[in-house]
Amino acid sequence: MRLFLFLILTLIPLQLLAYNELGKEENNEFGGNTVTFQDPGKGIFRGTNHFDSGGTLMRSDWFYSEEYSLSRGIRRRVADYLFEVKTKEAIHYTPKYQALRRISHQVDTFEQATGGMIKRETHFVGKGAGYSVTHFFAGKRTKLEWFYPHNKEGLSQKIIQYEDNGRTIKQVENIFTKRSQNKEGIIRSIYYDREGKKHRREWYYTTTFAKANKGAVKKLVEYNYHPSQKIPNQVNFLDAEGKRVELERHAEVGE
Q: Give the tens place of pLDDT for each residue, 137-195.
A: 999 999 999 999 999 999 999 999 999 888 899 999 999 999 999 999 999 999 998 87
Q: Give the tens place of pLDDT for each residue, 31-60.
A: 999 999 999 999 999 999 999 999 999 999
| Predicted local distance difference test score (pLDDT) of residue 94 | 97
Mean pLDDT calculated for residue range 98-117 = 95
- Cα–Cα distance list, 194 to 89, 106, 146, 163, 219 (Å): 36, 32, 22, 10, 19
- How large is the greatest C-alpha to C-alpha distance in the chain, in angstroms? 96
Q: Give the tens place of pLDDT for each residue, 206-246.
A: 999 999 999 999 999 998 888 888 888 899 999 999 999 99
Residues pairing with 64 in the sheet = 44
| Predicted local distance difference test score (pLDDT) of residue 32 | 97
The CATH topology of domain 2-247 is Outer Surface Protein A; domain 3 (3.90.930)
| Predicted local distance difference test score (pLDDT) of residue 249 | 56
| Contact assessment for residue 189 and residue 173, using Cβ atoms and an 8 Å cutoff | yes
What is the C-alpha separation between 41 and 18, in angstroms, rounded? Answer: 5
| Predicted local distance difference test score (pLDDT) of residue 8 | 41
Question: Which of the pair, 73 or 16, is modelled with greater confidence?
Answer: 73
Question: Which of the pair, 79 or 9, is modelled with greater confidence?
Answer: 79
Comparing CA positions, the residue from 8, 236, 254, 40 lying closest to residue 155 is 254
| Predicted local distance difference test score (pLDDT) of residue 1 | 47
> Given pLDDT bands bounded at 50, 70 and 90, which one contains residue 103?
very high
* Amino acid code (one letter) for 79: A
Percentage of the chain with pLDDT > 70?
90
Taking the model in full, what pTM does it have?
Answer: 0.82
Quickly count: other Cβ atoms within 10 Å of residue 44's Cβ: 19
Segments making up each domain of the chain, as ranges: 2-247
| Contact assessment for residue 145 and residue 159, using Cβ atoms and an 8 Å cutoff | yes
| Predicted local distance difference test score (pLDDT) of residue 25 | 96
What is the C-alpha separation between 95 and 157, in angstroms, rounded? Answer: 27
| Predicted local distance difference test score (pLDDT) of residue 11 | 47
| Predicted local distance difference test score (pLDDT) of residue 114 | 87
